[in-house]
């Protein structure tokens, strides 16, 4: 018998029929002898409907009241799911984020979890009940209702799992797990059975949408085993956990890509101390989330600075850069909205030199030009033209032998050497 936290997103609970299906899955887990806690999001479009109501009364609503409003979305789902489980003959009890003791800071609409009390969860489980918790929400120490922002429900699930020392936190989604590349781009992409927190963090940060970055961070910090799996079948998915000897030691875990960023280049910036600090401090103040930064080699006392930001920050960034360019006496600046970032992620890079070189070669052979490069100890990312994203991902996936066929060939006795 295990203690299992299961998280179901907005699509999985989008209608009352789907809520009944989720109830059946939870009851099956319970009937198999496990203690169950379910964490759920708001039903399908509910959050959008609430946002449009808010827009109608105040285009710039105070964030505290926005949280008060949005938190009702998950509260509806938890009540309905508890009712659906009751109708299957099991005892269930629902709790809001505030009730369950998800204590956060006061950063309304993007609050950070500080503590998970979870006493009422443990008590309800001890009474033999299935526990349903509202994702995405918490409360301040003073009792104000907060929401956790993007990826909040995943984070709630992992935080609850940490708080009650669950054996595993299952994240149900519409794909079978984490893949070596986006299967829509690479048809023979392979599902990864296990992956370390570090690799999952890099993949989530560079375009793998299956699991939210914050949830992975929380899982790593508290040692929560996360199982990403499909809500449409019973197949095992991808287990995210601490790297250990038993884990498959692929050099490369996957190829990710991200077309949600734009590149800004500022040309002929005076090459003197403090210039980069001025530009990026101004961008930070404007709440622009800068990702990659490259500063080219200086020529004749001036330099070029390029950086990428999410598309949705572009309007703010343009205003800021325009002012900075005037202030710094830079020559000009430009925006490239047609970029993609392709990344290679793998813990094996630490011990296998030459991965970056192989990546650049593979891209060159595929005729893909590289605009910018950035690296971490287990990741290499290249900015390329958006129209070449798919062929870059395919080339890298093939070059590093990540498909099922490649892996079978590599491990078969008669196969030649792999990478």
Closer of 8 and 307 to its own copies (Cβ): 8
- What the block records as the tokens of 340 is 């993609």
Q: How far apart are CA 87 and CA 140, in angstroms?
A: 34
Closer of 41 and 194 to its own copies (Cβ): 41
Q: How far is the CB of 148 from its own copies (least distance, A)?
A: 17
- Binding piece for its own copies, criterion CB under 8 A, among 70-78, 157-165, 217-225, 232-240: 70-78
Query: Under 8 Å CB-to-CB from 282, ≥6 apart: which residues?
Result: 320, 323, 324
First to last CA, the chain: 41
Task: Say whether residue 148 binds its own copies (CB under 8 A).
Answer: no
Q: How far apart are CA 419 and CA 251, in angstroms?
A: 9
Q: How far apart are CA 51 and CA 57, in angstroms?
A: 10
Q: How far is the CB of 88 from its own copies (least distance, A)?
A: 9
Residues 82-121, one symbol each (x = binds its own copies by CB under 8 A, - = not), give xxx-xx----xxx-x--x----------------------
- What the block records as the tokens of 166 is 């669950």
Give, as ranges, the residues between 333 and 392 that touch its own copies (CB under 8 A): none
Give, as ranges, the residues between 39 and 68 that touch its own copies (CB under 8 A): 50, 53-54, 56-62, 64-66, 68
Q: How far is the CB of 214 from its own copies (least distance, A)?
A: 25
In a 3-state reduction of DSSP, which class is residue 85?
helix
- Interface with its own copies (CB under 8 A), residue total 39
CA 245 → CA 125, 191, 194, 242, 293, distances in Å?
A: 34, 20, 12, 10, 35
Give, as ranges, the residues between 254 and 273 that touch its own copies (CB under 8 A): none
Closer of 143 and 416 to its own copies (Cβ): 143
Which of 77, 168, 83, 161 minimizes the C-alpha distance to 118?
A: 161
Query: Under 8 Å CB-to-CB from 224, ≥6 apart: which residues?
Result: 158, 161, 162, 166, 169, 218
Using CB under 8 A, pick the residue from 3, 51, 76, 409 that binds its own copies: 76
Q: How far is the CB of 162 from its own copies (least distance, A)?
A: 22
Q: How far apart are CA 10 and CA 43, in angstroms?
A: 5
Give, as ranges, the residues between 6 and 45 that touch its own copies (CB under 8 A): 16, 19-20, 23
Q: How far is the CB of 287 from its own copies (least distance, A)?
A: 21
Q: How far apart are CA 254 and CA 248, in angstroms?
A: 13
Residues interacting with its own copies, by CB under 8 A? Answer: 16, 19-20, 23, 50, 53-54, 56-62, 64-66, 68-69, 71-72, 75-76, 78-84, 86-87, 92-94, 96, 99, 143, 145
């Amino acid at each position: 018998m295990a203690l299992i936290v299961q998280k179901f997103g907005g699509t999985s609970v989008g209608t009352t029929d789907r809520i009944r299906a989720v109830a059946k899955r939870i009851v099956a887990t319970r009937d198999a002898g496990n203690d169950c806690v379910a964490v759920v999001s708001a039903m399908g479009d509910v959050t959008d409907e609430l946002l449009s109501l808010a827009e109608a009364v105040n285009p710039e609503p105070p964030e505290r009241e926005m949280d008060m409003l949005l938190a009702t979305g998950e509260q509806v789902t938890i009540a309905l799911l508890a009712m659906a489980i009751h109708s299957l003959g099991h005892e269930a009890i629902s709790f809001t984020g505030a009730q369950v003791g998800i204590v956060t800071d006061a950063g309304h609409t993007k609050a950070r979890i500080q503590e998970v009390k979870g006493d009422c969860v443990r008590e309800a489980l001890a009474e033999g009940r299935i526990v349903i918790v509202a994702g995405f929400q918490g409360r301040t120490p003073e009792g104000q209702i907060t929401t956790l922002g993007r990826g909040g429900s995943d984070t709630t699930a992992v935080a609850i799992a940490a708080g009650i020392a669950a054996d595993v936190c299952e994240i149900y989604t519409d794909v079978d797990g984490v893949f070596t590349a986006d299967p829509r781009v690479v048809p023979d992409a392979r599902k990864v059975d296990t992956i370390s927190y570090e690799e999952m963090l890099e993949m989530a940060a560079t375009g793998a949408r299956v699991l939210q970055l914050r949830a992975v961070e929380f899982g790593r910090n508290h040692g929560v085993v996360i199982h990403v799996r499909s809500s449409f079948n019973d197949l095992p998915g991808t287990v995210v956990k601490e790297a250990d000897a038993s884990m498959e030691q692929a050099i490369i875990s996957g190829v990710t890509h991200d077309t949600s960023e734009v590149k800004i280049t500022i040309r002929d910036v005076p090459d003197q101390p403090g210039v980069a600090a001025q530009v990026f401090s101004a961008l930070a103040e404007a709440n622009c989330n800068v990702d990659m930064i490259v500063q080219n080699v200086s020529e004749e006392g001036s330099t070029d600075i390029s950086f990428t930001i999410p598309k949705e920050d572009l309007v703010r960034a343009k205003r800021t850069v325009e002012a900075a360019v005037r202030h710094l006496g830079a020559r000009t600046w430009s925006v490239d909205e047609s970029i993609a970032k392709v990344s290679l992620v793998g813990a094996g890079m630490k011990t296998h030199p030459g991965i970056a070189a192989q990546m650049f070669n593979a891209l060159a052979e595929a005729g893909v030009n590289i605009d910018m490069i950035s690296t971490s100890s287990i990741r290499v990312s290249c900015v390329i033209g958006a129209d070449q994203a798919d062929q870059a991902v395919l080339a890298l996936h093939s070059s590093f032998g990540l498909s099922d066929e490649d892996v079978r060939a590599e491990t078969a006795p008669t196969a030649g050497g792999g990478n």
